[in-house]
Every structure is written in structure tokens, then in C-alpha cells.
Amino acid sequence: MTLTVTDLKAPEGFERLVRAEDAEAGLRALICIHSTVLGPAAGGCRMWAYGGEAEAIEDVTRLARGMTYKNAMAGLGLGGGKSVIIGDARRDKTPAMMRAFGRAVEALGGRYYTAEDVGISPEDMAHAARETRFAVGLSGASGDPSPWTAEGVFRCLLTGAAHVFGSDDLRGRRVLVQGLGHVGMDLARKLAAAGADLVVTDIHAEALRIATADLGAAVCEPGAVFEQQMDVYAPCALGGVITDDSAARLRARLICGAANNQLATPALARSLRARGITYLPDYVVNAGGIISVASEIHGKDDAWRRARLDGIAGRVAEMLVRAGAEGRCTTDIADEMVGRMLQGRSAA
């Protein structure tokens, strides 16, 4: 098999963007390194049926930058990167493709660690690991990071609820979970156990069947999310769901979910705040998965993971207090906190 790794022009402020191709293995991938200021870049590999390379580049660069911020806020000693494989994970993915992807990661010489993301499982990553030392999130090591992501989102949601509603008691609170993948379903289970009035939506009928049968959840159509009355909105599918239109229609007081890049544009944070909606920055609250992966990179145990989950909930509490006291958006506070971390390390 012949793998080619080609450098593309990286956006301003990014360190590297490469295209990896192996026609025989069916691999078309992009790997983006945003920053290694705080350590080697780390971020998952996503497989998605993008409309073309331009769309994939837009996604991978946004995700890589988000990983820099996420890893910094979680205190992981890692920089930010991301990778995407262009294709339908349910139809196109093969062990040979994942091995070719592993060779592409290895070609970067340790500047980027990869792990699971949308469309990629620990079993898939095990195939990649046959070709690279820098594939993590493996069964028998840190394993599937999804439960840790869900736990982190849940803890941050409780912190946000205490701030917005005056109590973290979710009994009777109407919470809508959008997207029932591994993370969304785990979060839905935690919310149901906490007594939330659970509403779910997903494009897959089997996921909805499980949520209704096992969790007693109500179902709404994917296109009707922003017409629903709710207390908490938990977006757990793909990003960009909060647009000018959806922000104007959203009927919630708190947004806390696992999806990356939930805001279509940064300015929407101000629009939400003006409507009295508290938004918890996604790159802060969904850091549980990369915390789990980082424990494997650094050789740490579950106690280390739990301490960092406590840390991200603590940072959410801090930014909520500061945002209220200073009359600013939570996103501005969070970005400012990360900026100080990166500047301090660069100066050092």
C-alpha cells in the first residue's frame, strides 16, 4: 500500500495541516495541528461523509483549535490537534484504512496523538495502533473515552443548573438531549437517573427506541428541537447547531452539551446572553474524553482523571461567577483564561 502525506497551507495561527491518502486502503484524511505550545497535540479522529475536502478542512481546523483550548483548560500538558477521515463510517471503514491512517499519524513523529471521535471506535483505533505509537484510547488501556466525556458534561450541567436555577436538583427539569451517540446516550442515562424530565432526538430509530424503552424519554423530531419548551438544552451531535435563527427560537435557560463548536459564530454567545440564556463553552464542559486519553499518554490513573473532572466543573463555576460580576459572556472569560495559559507558557 502506498501512503502519501502532503503538507497543505495551514491557516494563520496554526502549526501544520496535512492531507493523508492511500488509494488502495481507501483513505482520504486530514490531520491538523493547531498548537504544541503546551505539549504534543492531542485530539480524536472523526470519520464523516463530508461534501468535499474544503468542508473537511473547515471542520478539522475548527476542531483542532478547540482542542488547544480544551486541553489547556483541563490542565493536561497537551496541545491541540484533530484528524478527520472523509467517508461513511458505517459503509466505508475497514481495518486496512485504519492501519493506513495509523501510518499517517506515525509520519508526524509524535507531534500529534490520536484517539476515537465520531465514527471511530476503540477497535478501529487498535488497528491504527498497529502502525503508530501515537494512537490512544485503546481497550485495555484508557479505553472508550465516551463515558468520561458524559460524566464531565453531567458535572458541568449540575454546576450550571445550580447557578441558573438556584439548585442542582434536576427533578422536574425538562432537559433535551440532541444526539444519542455514545456520549449523548450516557448523558441521557445520567439525566434520567437524576430525575430530569428527559426529551431526546436523533436520526437513528434504534437509539430513540432505547431511550424511550429504558429511560422513559419523550421524543421530538430533529427539526423541531427549537420549538420545544425546555429548561436545559444539551447538544450532543455535530457542531454549528446554534445559529442566528436557532438562538432566536431556543426556549432554554441553560446550554450544556458534548458537541464541539456548538456556536456557528462566536458572536452568538452575546445573542444568547442578551436573551437570558447561559451558555457553557463546549470546549470546557466536554473535556472528559480527552482527560481519559491524556491519562493514557501520561501514564496516570483514575484518581488523576477524576481530579481533572472536578477541575473543569470548578472552572465552569469560576467563569459563571466572573461573567455575572463583569457583565461578560462566558466564552470571553474562558478564552481569556486560555490566552493567559498559552502566553505564559510561550514566554517561559
Are 237 and 181 within 8 A, CB to CB?
yes
Query: Could you tell me the domains of the chain?
Result: 4-64+80-129 (3.40.50.10860), 146-288+299-305+313-340 (3.40.50.720)
Say whether 93 sits in a helix, a strand or coil: coil
What is the CB neighbour count within 10 angstroms for residue 333? 18
171 DSSP 8-state letter: T
pLDDT in tens, 236-273: 997 889 999 999 999 999 999 999 889 999 999 999 99
DSSP string over 326-339:
HT--HHHHHHHHHH
CA angle at 50 for the pair 92 and 2, rounded to the nearest 5°: 50
Average pLDDT, the chain: 93
Whether 147 and 285 have beta carbons less than 8 Å apart is answered as no
Which helix (H) or strand (E) element contains residue 315? helix 302-326
**Is 9 an active-site residue?**
no
From CA 106, how far away is CA 31, in angstroms rounded?
A: 12
Give the Cβ contact number of residue 206 at 10 Å.
Answer: 9
Active-site residue, selected from the candidate residues 70, 82, 93, 190: 82
Q: What is the mean pLDDT of residues 125-135?
A: 96
Q: Vertex 282, ends 329 and 196: CA angle to 5°? A: 100
Read off the pTM: 0.84
pLDDT-based confidence at 144, cuts 50/70/90? confident
